[in-house]
Amino acid sequence: MSKLWTIGALLTWTTQFFSSKGIDSPRLDAEILLSHVLKKERIYLYAHYDEPMTTEELASYRELVKKRADRLSVAHILGERSFMGLDFLVNENVLIPRPETEMLVETVWEQLEPEAEARILDIGTGSGAILLSLLHERPQCQGLGVDISEKALAVARKNGERLGLSDRVSWQVSNLFASVPPSVYDWVVSNPPYLTADDMNHLQPEVRHDPRQALFGGKDGLDYYRRIARDAMPYVKVDGFCAVECGAGQSRDVASIFTASGHFVLQKIVKDYGGIERVVVFQRKE
């Protein structure tokens, strides 16, 4: 890279370079990183293809490109991730929010009226993306986010402050329900760790930077569903709901685990936009 490189030439070079490294979205990643360096929206790049880069901009961009080529995700590099149209702070202490998890939020939204005054408990909240997205769209709702990691909750707390939701959300360090104060909620939601032992041996390089405890769900990937199904009942009001995300091919096993507990009936299974059964919703019985 030299000081004579233009925005367009730089994007073309970086796209080819990222492709050679096996990166899935080379052009998009190049644009996001360059937009970050220039402090501009991506649309700016298309309107200024012939604009030359300064030496300082090239130096900054080069450092980001090196990190991405080493398979650090764009979210980890920038410390931020978009989810449900909101920007969330992220770091190595939290799972980077995935697009498929938006289906969990959308599923709960559909059953919550805009003026609903529901209380929501988010188990394994991480960055707080699920809970805070729900509260942002449902201004009468309140929530509690729970995580075993104090460092993860520090990130969630900052995200709550940035979104102006601190007055409607609380955070609790807890191993699932172990330290959650007795109370009942309209909704318990969770995107628990659900990767199997085999999955963990075949992780994409980018995913290896996520916390292991936020990924590994035991040998068959179902350990956390068993624990949630066993312990959630006292926290869900009668006729309230529990909604969980699951991995490909796990939905039927998850459904069986919850219904076998005797406390929940299966309400529905929702597919994500890739056709994978991603969200399983249960209702608490009498």
The structural domains of the chain, with segments of one domain joined by +, span 7-70, 83-284
- Residue 265: closest CA among 250, 280, 276: 280
Q: Is 50 annotated as a binding residue?
A: no
- Residue 196 in marked binding region: no
Residue 234 marked ligand-binding = no
CATH of domain 83-284: 3.40.50.150
Q: Is 199 annotated as a binding residue?
A: no
22 annotated as a binding-site residue: no
pTM for the full predicted model = 0.92
Per residue in 111-146, is it b (16+ CB within 10 Å) or e — as a string?
Answer: ebeeeeebbbbbbbbbbbbbbbbbbbbbeebbbbbb
Q: Is 261 annotated as a binding residue?
A: no
Known binder of ligand: residue 239?
Answer: no
Closest by CA to 189, choosing from 112, 250, 114, is 112
Per-residue pLDDT tens, the chain, 286 aa: give them: 445 899 999 999 999 999 999 999 999 999 999 999 999 999 999 999 999 999 999 999 999 999 999 999 999 999 999 999 999 999 999 999 999 999 999 999 999 988 889 999 999 999 999 999 999 999 999 999 999 999 999 999 999 999 999 999 999 999 999 999 999 999 999 999 999 999 999 999 999 999 999 999 999 999 999 999 999 999 999 999 999 999 999 999 999 999 999 999 999 999 999 999 999 999 999 7
The reply, when asked if residue 274 is annotated as ligand binding, is no
Is 124 annotated as ligand-binding?
yes
State pLDDT tens for residues 166-184: 999 999 999 999 999 999 9
Residue 128 counted as an annotated binding residue: yes
